[in-house]
Structure 1
Amino acid sequence: MKKLLLIIGIFLLLTSTARSQQDKRRPRVPSITVNGEAMISAEPDQAQIDIGVITQARSAPEASKENAERLSRVLTEVKKLLGKSDEVKTSGYSLTPNYRYPQGGKPEIVGYTASNTVRIKTNTLDLVGRLIDGAMQAGANNVNRLVFTLKDEQGAQLEALRQASAKAKSKAEAVAASLGLKIMRIAAINEGERTIQPIYRQVMAARGEALAAQAPTPVEPGTVDVRSTVSLTAEVSEK
């Protein structure tokens, strides 16, 4: 048995050595490596808004009850405006004590704060300003997130990737031509970093200005930036 294992080991060693020598004798094909990057701007077709109600009271039940009543009015108003494909769901709830810290004494509970936040997702961007105004008039007092994004993020990413690959190929051809070479084949292409930058908007400040001017809350979606990078290696030869 030991002799058999020894023979197998010697055979594998000789095979590996022979393969290594063949690789060394094989001529290396010259190649160039370039990077390609593309960024596209897409019109957003979806908005997400976090609208909340924050209430304070002496006791936890009072703070919770007032919060629930106000949020119910907010949801009733919001759902009047939303379409069938739009969504509303709770994104956060908390009920926490408020403390007073007397000098030299122990902390004392002086009340409670209830906070309830719902996330609204709508595909009708023209509704965003009306949703915010309607919710605030119904009792909401916090809008802490407004994001414009894409429903089909993958489609935008693939388009950015296609453009990045095309730019990398053009760059490789330009480099080869400047050296008096030509592209023989694409040896490798690797996807690099890809990002989607949604659009975040500050709402409370804009609403404050709108109230002062007795106007609807202004909302400008802007565009979503989608970025993709690739690394391309091409084998080259003389023309």
Structure 2
Amino acid sequence: MTCFPNPISKLLGAGLTVAVCTGAFFLVARSLGPIPVYMNQITTNKYGTFDVTGTSSVTTTPDKASFSVGVSFNESTAKSAQEKADKAIASITKEYLDMGIEKKDIKTINYSLYPNYDYSNGSRATNGYSVNATLQVSVTDFALLNTAIDKATAIGANQINAVQFSLSDTKRKEVEKEARELAVADAKDRAESLAGTAGIRLGKVMNIIETNLSFPRPMYEMAKVMTASEDSSVQTQVEPGTTTVNMSIMLSYETK
């Protein structure tokens, strides 16, 4: 095979020599190194996925209640106001302990003592002292709830705030587990029904996502409590009612 120098080499410079050979055409890179080659890469999955969402709702009765009970007094001196409040709080606490409420479920959440001022004469003058003391009480035995509220007002409590119903940690986990199992079962039923209708063959579950877990906010009962505190002859009746927990689960199936 015979090759002849080509004058194009002079135009391309010393870095590239072009030779024309009989039956072939060669480009020889002397000093530029390898010539890069660019290409697009496309990745495909062997299997597609089929996603479906299942939902569930579980209705249950709250097993925990908490309420706050307090006292508020206005006295001529700070000492007398404090002594009166301390005595009332001590009496309420003792009554609750005697009822069977555990000490860990009774805690002070507020204690404030401050002077009152009179500005009627154009200047500020101290006009006695006020004290506010509040206990937060939690119970899981609802038979104690109404009695605890009534006993507090009988002893001297003059502040009863809303009763809050909620789920204890143990029951919350139980309800969450039940809701999750129901949502997964619903998702499986939906997947089988939809795939069968569409003629899709499902494989194994590739992924599971808990897309929504909705616990309701604590429920409050106030009107009945306030009525009982205003009229000691009326027995407090507070009922927990029910609460609903919602769950959504998404399953991703392999398709064949």
Question: Considering the TM-score relative to the shorter chain, is it more than 0.5?
Answer: yes
Q: Does 1:76 align with 2:84?
A: no
> Which residue of structure 2 lines up, in the alignment, with residue 181 of structure 1?
200
Report if aligned partners of 1:148, 1:198 keep a CA contact under 8 Å in 2: no
Three-state SS of the structure 1 residue aligned to 2:234 is coil
> Which residue of structure 1 lines up, in the alignment, with residue 76 of structure 2?
58
Three-state SS of the structure 2 residue aligned to 1:214 is coil
Three-state SS of the structure 1 residue aligned to 2:238 is coil
Give CA deviations for 1:57-88 in whole Å, capped at 9, x if unaligned: 23332221211111122222222212569732
Bigger helix fraction: 1
Is the alpha carbon distance of 1:29 and 1:77 closer, same or farther for their aligned partners in structure 2, counting shifts above 3 Å? same
> Which residue of structure 1 lines up, in the alignment, with residue 255 of structure 2?
236
The range that moved more, 110-119 or 127-136, is 110-119
Q: Does 1:31 align with 2:31?
A: no
> Which residue of structure 2 lines up, in the alignment, with residue 97 of structure 1?
115
The range that moved more, 127-136 or 68-77, is 68-77
1:67 to 85, 106, 127: 85
> Which residue of structure 1 lines up, in the alignment, with residue 34 of structure 2?
none
Three-state SS of the structure 2 residue aligned to 1:38 is strand
> Which residue of structure 2 lines up, in the alignment, with residue 195 of structure 1?
214
Q: Does 1:150 align with 2:159?
A: no
TM-score (norm 2): 0.72
The range that moved more, 212-221 or 178-187, is 212-221
Report if aligned partners of 1:164, 1:229 keep a CA contact under 8 Å in 2: yes
Is the alpha carbon distance of 1:174 and 1:98 closer, same or farther for their aligned partners in structure 2, counting shifts above 3 Å? farther
Aligned length: 217
The 2-side partners of 1:39 and 1:106 are apart by 63
- Residue type matched to 2:140 in 1? N
Higher RCO (CA < 8 A, seq sep 6+):
1
Q: Does 1:46 align with 2:55?
A: no
TM-score (norm 1): 0.77
Is the alpha carbon distance of 1:145 and 1:185 closer, same or farther for their aligned partners in structure 2, counting shifts above 3 Å? same
The 1-side partners of 2:50 and 2:119 are apart by 68
Give CA deviations for 1:202-235 in whole Å, capped at 9, x if unaligned: 33x3145446593310111112322222222222
Q: Which structure 2 segments of 5+ residues have no match?
A: 1-37
Report if aligned partners of 2:63, 2:140 keep a CA contact under 8 Å in 1: yes
Report if aligned partners of 1:46, 1:123 keep a CA contact under 8 Å in 2: yes
Q: Which structure 1 segments of 5+ residues have no match?
A: 1-16
- Residue type matched to 1:191 in 2? E
Q: Does 1:122 align with 2:136?
A: no
Give CA deviations for 1:150-209 in whole Å, capped at 9, x if unaligned: 331212112111212222222222222232213212121112232322543333x31454
Give CA deviations for 1:72-129 in whole Å, capped at 9, x if unaligned: 22222222212569732222222233345559x5655433321211122222111110
Q: Does 1:169 align with 2:193?
A: no
The 1-side partners of 2:61 and 2:93 are apart by 28
The 2-side partners of 1:58 and 1:179 are apart by 83
- Residue type matched to 1:142 in 2? Q
Report if aligned partners of 1:173, 1:182 keep a CA contact under 8 Å in 2: no
The 1-side partners of 2:125 and 2:192 are apart by 74
Is the alpha carbon distance of 1:112 and 1:213 closer, same or farther for their aligned partners in structure 2, counting shifts above 3 Å? closer
The range that moved more, 117-126 or 27-36, is 27-36
Q: Does 1:226 align with 2:241?
A: no
